[in-house]
Amino acid sequence: MADTPRLNFPRGMLAGQVAIITGAAQGIGAETARIFAREGCKVVIADLDAEKAEKTAEAIISDGGEALAVAGDITRNEAIEVLVRRAAEFGGGKIHIIVNNAGYAWDDPIEKIKDQQWETIIALHNTAPFKLLRTAAPYFMVKDGEARSIVNISSTSGIYGNAGQASYALAKAGLVGLTKTIAQEWGPEYGVRANTVAFGAIKTRLTQAPKGEYIIRPDGAKHAVGFHGGYDEEEKWIGDIPLRRVGTTRDAGLAILAVVSPLFSYVSGQTVMVSGGRGGM
């Protein structure tokens, strides 16, 4: 027992670390930012929605945490440049964690998907995470002995497919390959870990009945989120979920914390399913 000290993180599991979380103004990203901040991490709230990003950051700061809101569309090169520069300044020259979380779906059956629809989803879920990593590479290809970790947010649609979600399923599956490649490129010399977290159904505005919420797409159009028969009708969803409930943003954020935390220090290149057991049987 003496050689097995009790785990103790008096300053938090992520003390001294700096994280960029994309899509962190609300939903899974915002809860992840709050959880990380509680664990001593400085969090950069990157989001398209400037107002909500600012509010999320302010709430973390008034709760005693350290947060910085950086507004911008992650599919634009200039936004990525600004995000990495401001995160590094905020972090005193260091960035330890990137959570590629910003996302939404633009669904249709295969025969109806338009080129613009397809390209928008691939640009958001694959190209933007790649470019963010490429731009932030100098902060990960370092040998200072500090922990570094990438988390790419996927979905059960990317692992099993989902009728009506060809572009989203392909993009979310693509992240699995990106994750494994980062693990192999940045693991050996720099000790960077990379993992994918694939969510099942989590209660956010994306999975609820439409309530007038929308995202401004790169083409400037308002993209309504939510769908009829969303988790408001939870009983219809839970039949194939062994835990018999739709997940909360708390469930989601805690899983992301687990993956970036020292408890996962020897886990890299993996896909962690956070789906209440759905698809895992």
Ligand X SMILES: NC(=O)c1ccc[n+]([C@@H]2O[C@H](COP(=O)([O-])OP(=O)(O)OC[C@H]3O[C@@H](n4cnc5c(N)ncnc54)[C@H](O)[C@@H]3O)[C@@H](O)[C@H]2O)c1
Q: Catalytic residue, from 104, 139, 160, 168: name it.
A: 168
Assess contact for 182 and 150: CB atoms under 8 A: yes
Classify residue 61 as exposed, middle or buried by CB count within 10 Å of its CB (0-12, 13-18, 19+).
middle
CB 142 within 8 A of CB 190: yes
Number of chain residues interacting with ligand X (CB under 6 A): 29
Q: How far apart are CA 204 and CA 226, in angstroms?
A: 9
By CB atoms closer than 10 A (0-12, 13-18, 19+), residue 40 is middle
**C-alpha span between 85 and 72 (Å, rounded):** 13
Question: Any catalytic annotation for residue 168?
Answer: yes
For residue 145, the minimal CB distance to ligand X (Å) is 31
Does 251 bind ligand X (CB under 6 A)? Our answer is no
Q: Which CB, 126 or 142, lies closer to ligand X?
A: 126
> By CB under 6 A, is residue 255 in contact with ligand X?
no
Cβ proximity to ligand X: between 39 and 47 the closer is: 47
Task: Return the residue of 20, 23, 83, 226 that touches ligand X, per CB under 6 A.
Answer: 23
Q: Does 106 bind ligand X (CB under 6 A)?
A: no
274 binds ligand X (CB under 6 A): no
Termini Cα distance of the chain = 36
Neighbouring C-beta atoms of residue 151, cutoff 10 Å: 26
Does 159 help bind ligand X (rule: CB under 6 A)? Answer: no
CB of 119 to ligand X, least distance (A): 13
Considering only 17, 19, 26, 139, the residue that binds ligand X (CB under 6 A) is: 26
Which residues are part of the catalytic machinery?
168
